Amino acid sequence: MWAIEGRIPDHVQRAIVSHLKENCRFTFEGSAQLRADPLPFYPDTLLCQLLVEPGARVGSGRRRRQQQIEAPQRFYFLFKMVAGDAILIPLTGERGDILLANRWLGLRLKNDEQRLDYARFYYAFARTESPPGFHNVPRQMSELGFANIATEKQIWGVYGAMWRFLDQDRPLHLRVRFEPRGVPWRSRHRAHLPLQIGSDIFDVDLKIWAADGHISYRKTELVYRDLALAAEPQERPGRIRLPRYVWWGERMFTLYRNIKVHINQALYLASTSLFFLASALALLSAMSPWGQSSLALVAVLTGIGTWTTWLKAACLYRIAYFVFTTLLILDAEKVRNGLLMWSRRFEGSWLDQLLHGLVLKRRRTESGYRPGLIKRIGWAGTMLLFWTGYLVLVFTSLQIGYRPYLAADDKALLDVMQVFAEQALLYIPVVFYYVGSKSLDRAKLALVSGEIMIVFQLIMGLLVIRRVHRFWASTASSRLSS
């Protein structure tokens, strides 16, 4: 969070306290400090910090039942005096609060300096990514966050890594240039600037969108990584209710923006969990009578179709999930962050350690780790064999869903798997081409539906071109890092 040190005149303090009490149903009694600094991008607006000391009492809500504070607690809000009235927008650590402030306080970004100030404000008071956290957009080198263990040598090492962002006219200040982009209804200002996320500094492609003032970014390069760098404090600020004059529709929209990250993370976890469940059901149902009986029971209980209906649904979901994650990348870090966000008990478990190991391995790759040629060939081949075997089983299960009699004939079932395996082997070269049916046994090929074979050929092409080729390219590239 920003260090807020400005003093507030007594009459403004009285106006703020009265506004909190009358419009936000928020009261406090005891030792507290109220400070504020002006913001250049909100006209005549103060960024306020209310620090409530231990032993003080805070009340909120209609009943305003006060509770004693046992540890120092900070409350943040924006306050603007207008003719005969005032506007107060609480900052609870979510981006929806800032977007609401942009509408009520009139966001104005006149130059690049104000845009950089706004980007720093946005990521200091709005938690982003998953699990959500605050990030640091430095305007000068002194605003970088360092750990207590940082030595002078490490500090200057970080400074040296950021030479490309320095302003030649102002020592140790950053020079950032925003450029306008997009059509009027998708207007935005874009710039490359450093963003500190924990112990990492990334060069990010940052965009400030004109429609509502929200900010998005894309990591383009890891600039520096060192344990001497410290993450932004993740302490959640105290909660102040929205003023009663904020329309209920805006309240709902702000709530949606605040929990949007949580909703997206929940959907991601749900789709991944459903994928593993569908895989287990499809394999058990295709290979064992017990699995078929289980799906038949599900069909009876739900009154929807037969066991083959549920088998086909599971297989089609697995194929769709494979295509989706191949195009958008299945990310172990997203799964781990989602689990950590929803339950801190997950931290330290065997699954957490497994996912964390995969994340660290990928980061080493992005940071410039380049394995030898033989090792890269082995990794790419292992990936190709694993996913090929997986797809052969998936499409065999799908074929059983359309021709149930295959499940009772072991020889026919093996023939179907052989057809898919032989077809898959023809795609080992990293060149996608159409293979005619003449290269396969016609008697065995008759067991496979033509439509399913065409889909299998397309999915194998996607596997080789997107997954294996992308993996090869990522491990072969070398990037500058610490």
- Average pLDDT by stretches of 10, the chain with 482 residues: 84 93 91 94 95 90 76 94 88 92 94 95 87 87 87 87 88 91 90 92 94 91 87 83 92 85 73 76 65 73 80 80 62 62 65 68 51 64 78 83 78 82 66 46 76 80 63 43 36
Q: Residue 129: CB partners within 8 Å, gap ≥ 6?
A: 135, 197, 261, 337
Three-class secondary structure of residue 174 per DSSP: strand
Query: Residue 144: inside a domain, yes or no?
Result: yes
Dihedral-angle region of residue 363 (phi above 0 means left; psi in -120 to 50 means alpha; beta otherwise): alpha
Residues 14 and 129 placed together within one structural domain of the fold: yes
Both 41 and 170 in one domain: the answer is: yes
Tell me: do 268 and 185 sit in the same domain.
Answer: no
285 in the same domain as 237? no
Q: Is 481 within a domain? A: no
The residue out of 223, 246, 269 marking a domain boundary is 246
In the chain, the largest separation of any two C-alpha atoms, in whole Å, equals: 92
Q: Are 255 and 97 in contact (CB under 8 A)?
A: no
Does any domain span residue 67? yes
CB 430 within 8 A of CB 468: yes
Domain span including residue 228: 10-246
Clarify whether residues 290 and 223 are in a common domain.
no
Residue 280 placed within a domain: yes
β-sheet bridge partners, residue 204 = 193, 219
Q: 201, 219, 246 — which closes off a domain?
A: 246
Tokens of 390: 């997986």
Query: Do 39 and 170 belong together in one domain?
Result: yes
**CA nearest to 412, candidates 398, 435, 396, 388:** 396
Burial class, 46, CB count within 10 angstroms (exposed 0-12 / middle 13-18 / buried 19+): buried
Instruction: Give the whole-angstrom CA distance, residue 100 versus residue 260.
Output: 15
pLDDT at 342: 57
Torsion over CA of 101, 106, 110 and 115, rounded to 10 degrees? 10
Give the pLDDT of residue 412. 83
- Cα 108 to Cα 210: distance, rounded to the nearest angstrom: 10
**Co-location of 206 and 311 in the same domain:** no
Asked whether residue 252 is domain-assigned, the answer is no
Measured CA to CA, the distance from residue 131 to residue 337 in angstroms comes to: 5
Predicted pLDDT of residue 188: 94
Which tokens belong to 300?
A: 């009876």
For residue 103, tell me if it sits in a domain: yes
Determine the Cα–Cα distance for residues 138 and 174; give it in Å rounded to an integer: 8
Give DSSP secondary structure letters for 285-300: HHH-HHHHHHHHHHHH
In a domain, 72, yes or no: yes
Residue where a domain terminates, one of 196, 215, 246: 246
Q: Where are the alpha helices (DSSP H) in 191-242?
A: none
- The first and second tokens of residue 111, run together, are 């130059």
Looking at residue 366, its pLDDT comes to 47
Do 277 and 186 reside in the same domain of the chain? Answer: no
Residues 373 and 279 placed together within one structural domain of the fold: yes
CA-CA-CA-CA torsion sign (347, 353, 355, 357): positive
What's residue 380's pLDDT? 67
> What SS3 class is residue 81?
strand
Residue (of 123, 179, 170, 169) closest to 2 by Cα position:
123
3-state secondary structure of 132: coil
Question: What pLDDT score does 110 carry?
Answer: 93
43 and 163 in a single domain? The answer is yes
Cis previous bond, 90, omega within 30: no
* Tokens 């391995």, residue located: 361
Task: Output phi, psi for 367, to 5 deg.
Answer: -85, 0
Co-location of 146 and 271 in the same domain: no
What is the tally of structural domains in the chain?
A: 2
Asked if 40 contacts 65 with a C-beta cutoff of 8 angstroms, the reply is: no
Calculate ∠ Cα 323-329-332, nearest 5°. 125
Going by C-alpha positions, the residue among 265, 239, 234 that lies closest to residue 340 is 265
| Global confidence as pTM | 0.66
> From CA 319, how far away is CA 305, in angstroms rounded?
21
Q: Distance from first CA to last CA of the chain, Å, rounded?
A: 27
3-state secondary structure (DSSP) of residue 218 = strand
Residue entry with tokens 């929200």:
214
Residue given tokens 């506007």 in the structure block: 87
Q: What is the pLDDT at residue 334?
A: 62
For residues 157 and 39, membership in a common domain is answered with yes
| 1 in any annotated domain | no
Residue with tokens 């200040």: 173
Cα radius of gyration rounded to whole Å, the chain: 29
